[in-house]
Amino acid sequence: MDSERAQLSSARTTLDDLVVKVADIAEGLHGGGQDALAHDLFEVERALRMAQRRLDAVTRRMRG
């Protein structure tokens, strides 16, 4: 089970990086005439954050 937790921790780190990258791109597009694209990327950011929360919940259950 420790191996799986380590892999999930790595996945969580990857998700963290993706959230930052997607949010940065969305912010750059927002207000620059690309609002529709920015909106879609903000939706992607929200989905990634939801995935982070779900992954955190699974990891907590694995410990318990």
In this prediction, residue 31 carries a pLDDT of 86
- Residue 34 phi/psi, 5-degree rounding, is -120, 40
The parent domain of residue 25 ranges over 2-63
Q: How many structural domains compose the chain?
A: 1
Q: Could you read off the pLDDT of 32-43 as tens digits, one per residue?
A: 889 999 999 999
In this prediction, residue 1 carries a pLDDT of 78
Q: Could you read off the pLDDT of 2-57 as tens digits, one per residue?
A: 899 989 999 999 999 999 999 999 999 998 889 999 999 999 999 999 999 999 99
In this prediction, residue 64 carries a pLDDT of 74
Where residue 63 falls among pLDDT bands split at 50, 70, 90? confident
